[in-house]
Structure 1
Amino acid sequence: MPQNVLLDEGLTAKIADFGIAKLLRKDQTQTTIKIRGTRGYVAPEWFRNMPITVKVDMYSFGILLLELICCRKSCKQDVANENEMILAEWSCDCYRRKELHLLAGDDEEAVEDIEMFKKLLMVAIWCIQENPALRPSMKKVMLTLEGSVEVSIHPDPFSFICSV
């Protein structure tokens, strides 16, 4: 996924295309093809015989956002507690238990502005909903980050039961 984050001349990060846009024609909203993407960033629908839509890119963006705000990779082997291995699952658990300080770790900025950290975390969780229909559009994410729209997330991102 690092290849999808580009830096401009001022070292400002720019998010590049996550890939699904290249797979769809202009008049197409979904497709069914073999899995494409970087392990750890691939949306669950790739594995569930579900239609592939632009929402797979929102999932990838959500994982990337989690990595950025938690200052760690999406999958980490060398952790004291095995519940912390998968960042997406651990972050949702910490959010449910209201233990955001565990995710913030040693990041003083995050600890000092825990409300902003919480908002970013909620946006990331919103983007990684297992049900693609519950994931926001990038426009809605931008409006949320700007403060124009409130974050609205499903209570449990991993409660989606896929009927195969």
Structure 2
Amino acid sequence: MYQQAAWDITLLLSLFIIFVFLFVFARSDKKVDYTGIQKKGYFIRNIWFILVCLSLLTTSLFTLKQLPYHRAAAKGTPVDVDVTAMQFGFEISKDTFKVGDYIAFHVTSKDVNHGFGLYDDKMNIVAQTQAMPQYTNTVYYQFTKPGTYSILCLEYCGAAHHIMKREIIVNE
């Protein structure tokens, strides 16, 4: 049903474009002074350019404020947890926590680039960063619900990438 509708719409739009091209081609032999139209077109183009720039600037200002690259608003000192990614698993210094624990995951890699994706029990991503050799990224997260959280690799790292998983338990 949807494919048929898409085909019909594509066909109609294609025919319309062909008609416009044929119409312009048929009238192209007439000489017309376009100076007035050209001035109006340049004016409209300048206004359009300003509107597009203002909308992009406004959109950027509103969306960049919401980037998640800041520390979670938690009280106290975070619990430091070292995470080392390697083909095809994760070494983690601590994997059992309590609700309310504020964690600083220090993530690195032994071999190639990996991704560190922390997922809740419904497989919604709650934190993520890149795991790179000879570099440590720190991602902060405060556990607010008990459950089993999963760490999955977000960067294709080889043939067994799909089995690269580690679990974290969060208790009441």
Give TM-score, length-normalised by structure 2: 0.21
Give TM-score, length-normalised by structure 1: 0.21
More helix by share: 1
More strand by share: 2
